[in-house]
Structure 1
Amino acid sequence: MLMLMTMMHIGLDDTDSPRTGCTTYIAALLVEKLHRLGASFIDYPNLIRLNPNVPWKTRGNGALCLRIRCGEELVEEITETVIETIEENADLSYAGTDPGVVFFFNNIPGELKDFAKRTIQSVVKMKEALKLINIFGAEAVGFKTGRGIIGGLAAIGETLGEDHTYEIIAYRTRENRGTPRRIEGSSIDEMNEKTAPLTFNNIDPEKGRILITPRGPDPILYGIRGETPEVVKQAHELIRPQETVERWVIFRTNHGTDAHLRRISSIGEVQPFNPVVVRGAVTKNPQVIPGGHVIFPIKDETGQVDCAAYEPTGALREVAKKLIVGDFVEACGGVRPASSRHPITINMEKIRVLKLAPKIAFHNPACPQCGKRMKSMGTRKGFRCERCGFRSSKLKKVAVERKRDLKKGLYIASPRSQRHLTKPFCRYGREKSSVPRELIKDWHFP
């Protein structure tokens, strides 16, 4: 008897809270459960980071999609398994946790891909998600407000058909969660030396801080990001954990792709919460405010906006301090809305210096008789030479162009303060334009 097969996309989001949980962990549990039920995966689990600037985001603002083929007779059991697993593992008692799961069948339409892009680059509303779910006959289940339905649908729609990366995530056993993570530090250095730059953001070079281990109470022991499933698995095998790894999974993701940044044509288009790329001229010299943050405004013919390089951005902050009036730059980052304390501001992740204004210094003139630098006799009183006594009320200060301690080019926040979506330097030139044809043999455990 011929078995009818169904393509099924399962999107889920908003299951964690600041105190516990992780949506990737629920996805990892489901990988094991769905395999046991007889489903076959047509892609690695997709980990889709959404707009990191929305005020109601989850901890990492990551949504998940599992793409499988299964017999039609398994659809109901798979659906029940997914819902039960979310109920058992989501932090439903936390006020801001509102899980949602979406079940979508067959190929992904263009309208859903467009919705996913908007969810990554701007702010979308629940009614948009529900309308698409209704139009295309998908199924959705929400817990509490069900806000996670938005992210779940977006994860389904983002098929990662263009640039993408991979992350292998290893998870802790329940008894170890909430305790300090135990990994042999030298193995992380060794892994980085052997696999970078095909793996990235393992260690912050400025501070020496390890970046593969989170610091919160979530179940992740470590996560390693890289260009291929093979290299992240190789990196994983080089790590020597000093506690038991419960499970691990390779995800395909939009980490490190700049997928959130949208180029806009003018400053007048800047909108709160949207990640943007916009050009403008610096109109005031940068100010260092309490906390060590650097603020400067840029302007074009449509308006003006403040740009901020916060203290943790490290190298980016040092670049911002060197800007002067007249420099022409491209600011990249999320837009913080105006408040009673500050105007609308771009929180910079990157800056591209496109044009450097001349830096002019004014010096007292040289004495025309002996060549020594003259002294001012006071405002509008002229100059006097201390060596030979020559005086003049007609000589003026001389303009001299000084060398800039800044070059044109792209500058990015230090790795320790980069967002999940920020593309690091080592990824430029490694962008992808196609999806993997098949999965590697062992991409998860168990």
Structure 2
Amino acid sequence: MKKTVLHIGLDDVDSPEGGCTTHLASILVEKLSKEALKFIDYPNLIRLNPNIPWKTRGNGAVALRILVNENFVDRIINNVLHVVVKYIGEFSKEKSQPSAVFFTGNIPSKLRWFSRKTVKDIVPLNLAFKVVEKVKAKAISFNGKRGVIGALAAIGEPLDNTDYTFELIAYRAEENYGKPRLISKESVLEMDKLFGTQTFLNVDYEIGKVLITPHGPDPVLLGIRGENAEIVLEAFKKIKVLEPIERWVIFRTNQATDMHLAEVKYVKEIKPYMSVILKGYVYEKPKTIRGGHVVFSVSDSLEDTISCIAYEPTGSFRNIVKQLIPGDVVKVYGGTRPPSPTHEITINLEKLEILKLAEHIAYRNPKCPNCGKTMKSAGKNKGFKCPNCGFKSKTLSKICIKIPRKLRPGLYTPPPRAFRHLMKPLQRYGKEKKTPPKNIIPKWHHP
């Protein structure tokens, strides 16, 4: 019997009451594992443009990819929809627009293009449906169609020619939703010591905060992010969990890859809600504004400028930003917020790369040639006067002094607590992947 690959995309299931797209995916994994089919990849968790104002909590969509007999495709789709309908009936509320998209066969270039666009830009709903029609996919929506964008995008990003990471996500028993998560902090710290080079964003040591647990009422108990499936599973086994675990699944994902960033040459190319990398020079000295945020401006080679802001939650990262001076050559990385009556379009800093430092020059009053004390101005165009011995001079001028810079060229990032899903940590540089894993490990989900 002829087989085909069925791709199942899911999005916009998240809700404040406990719904979660990855949780629904984990339930489908359990159900589908009992069918006569084969998973050809780990579930793909695809994070979309993080700057979209109407995004879900993590702006993540999921694709399941299975090899199945062609005659079984319709039955599998109906079974999936039965699970989806039951799930959203329990969890999804008015603001959610849950959607499922189904596609069979190889992923066409049009669909791949659409997926990359959803990670970097704003995508209108009508474009999503044009692509659905073009590639002959099947889209099913509930309570609105917005979720089709993410569900289709997840299918179109198989992570086969780009960097990727893994995340093991464990889920709570329903009776514990909304209660504090019971996990031993000491076990997380110990796990990070053992696996910290191959996992990331487990702990923020600047404030001693564990980062593997969320804080909302959703079903997620914890998530461990790392470079391969074996590592996240071994790290998970080291965590001491003090409450029941309903299920867990390993996802392959575009998290921590910087996939959302697009390099631009000029300020005029930057649009609201993009994520950009811009090379330029510091035009205006950083200043701290109300709320503890730090703002400065960068100019491109056309001498157009744009404001950049490091928000208060970026913590010690702001201390780096504050040391910039006009003339420093930098690359700024971040999402763009739209202009408003109070500000122009602004880059919300995610990273700062210092390429070349300008000389820090200061001008100081000369020393008195008689007594060695620092002289003061004698008035406009009147030269200098020594406050100690009274010596005056109209010929002396201010002394030019080169002040040493503590700052050094390099790439700087905020502390781990300020990271969003797609931002690549420093420790991942040099570990980028280009080809998918050859095999799926035997134990990648439970149950």
Q: Which residue matches 1:158? A: 157
- Structure 1: where are the runs of 5+ without partners? none
Secondary structure in structure 2 of the residue aligned to 1:286: strand
The one-letter amino acid paired with 2:122 is V
The one-letter amino acid paired with 2:436 is V
Q: Which residue matches 1:304? A: 305
Question: 2:177, 2:145 → 1: CA distance?
Answer: 27
Q: How does 1:51-66 map to 2 (within 5 A)?
A: 51-66=49-64
Q: Which residue matches 1:264? A: 264
Q: Which residue matches 1:85? A: 83
The one-letter amino acid paired with 2:258 is D
Shifted more, 55-64 versus 9-18: the winner is 9-18
Cα shift readout 1:250-293 (whole Å, capped 9, x = no counterpart)? 00001100000010111110100011111222222112111100
Identity of aligned residues (%): 50
Q: How does 1:17-416 map to 2 (within 5 A)?
A: 17-90=15-88, 94-161=93-160, 162-300=162-300, 301=302, 303-386=304-387, 388-416=389-417
Q: 1:92 to 1:145 in 2, by over 3 A?
A: farther
Cα shift readout 1:148-199 (whole Å, capped 9, x = no counterpart)? 1111111011111221000000100111111110011211111111001200
Question: 1:116, 1:282 → 2: CA distance?
Answer: 34
Question: 2:311, 2:389 → 1: CA distance?
Answer: 52
Question: 1:11, 1:401 → 2: CA distance?
Answer: 59
Q: Which residue matches 1:424? A: 425
CA contact (8 A) 1:316 1:351 kept: no
Question: 1:203, 1:89 → 2: CA distance?
Answer: 32
Secondary structure in structure 2 of the residue aligned to 1:283: strand
How far off its partner does 1:13 sit?
0.5
The one-letter amino acid paired with 1:396 is S
The one-letter amino acid paired with 2:241 is P
CA contact (8 A) 2:18 2:177 kept: no
The one-letter amino acid paired with 2:46 is I
Cα shift readout 1:50-88 (whole Å, capped 9, x = no counterpart)? 000011110000000000011223212221222222222
The one-letter amino acid paired with 2:116 is K
The one-letter amino acid paired with 2:287 is Q
Secondary structure in structure 1 of the residue aligned to 2:29: helix
Question: 1:203, 1:271 → 2: CA distance?
Answer: 34
The one-letter amino acid paired with 1:261 is L
How far off its partner does 1:42 sit?
0.1
CA contact (8 A) 2:111 2:135 kept: no
How far off its partner does 1:388 sit?
4.8
Shifted more, 27-36 versus 77-86: the winner is 77-86
How far off its partner does 1:110 sit?
1.4
CA contact (8 A) 2:371 2:389 kept: yes
Secondary structure in structure 2 of the residue aligned to 1:85: helix
How far off its partner does 1:39 sit?
2.0
What's the TM-score once normalised by structure 2's chain length? 0.96
How far off its partner does 1:370 sit?
4.6
Shifted more, 419-428 versus 321-330: the winner is 321-330
What's the TM-score once normalised by structure 1's chain length? 0.97
Secondary structure in structure 2 of the residue aligned to 1:335: strand
CA contact (8 A) 1:268 1:302 kept: no
CA contact (8 A) 1:359 1:402 kept: yes
CA contact (8 A) 2:280 2:298 kept: yes
Question: 1:9, 1:408 → 2: CA distance?
Answer: 45
Question: 1:227, 1:434 → 2: CA distance?
Answer: 13
How far off its partner does 1:389 sit?
4.0
Secondary structure in structure 1 of the residue aligned to 2:50: coil
Question: 2:314, 2:36 → 1: CA distance?
Answer: 47
CA contact (8 A) 2:17 2:91 kept: no
Cα shift readout 1:83-135 (whole Å, capped 9, x = no counterpart)? 22222223775332111111010111111111111110111112222112112
Q: How many matched pairs? A: 444
How far off its partner does 1:347 sit?
0.5
- Structure 2: where are the runs of 5+ without partners? none
CA contact (8 A) 2:19 2:91 kept: no
Question: 1:34, 1:386 → 2: CA distance?
Answer: 88
CA contact (8 A) 1:315 1:412 kept: no
The one-letter amino acid paired with 2:67 is R
Secondary structure in structure 1 of the residue aligned to 2:368: coil
Question: 2:123, 2:387 → 1: CA distance?
Answer: 71
CA contact (8 A) 1:118 1:124 kept: yes
Question: 1:344, 1:366 → 2: CA distance?
Answer: 47
Question: 1:387, 1:185 → 2: CA distance?
Answer: 63
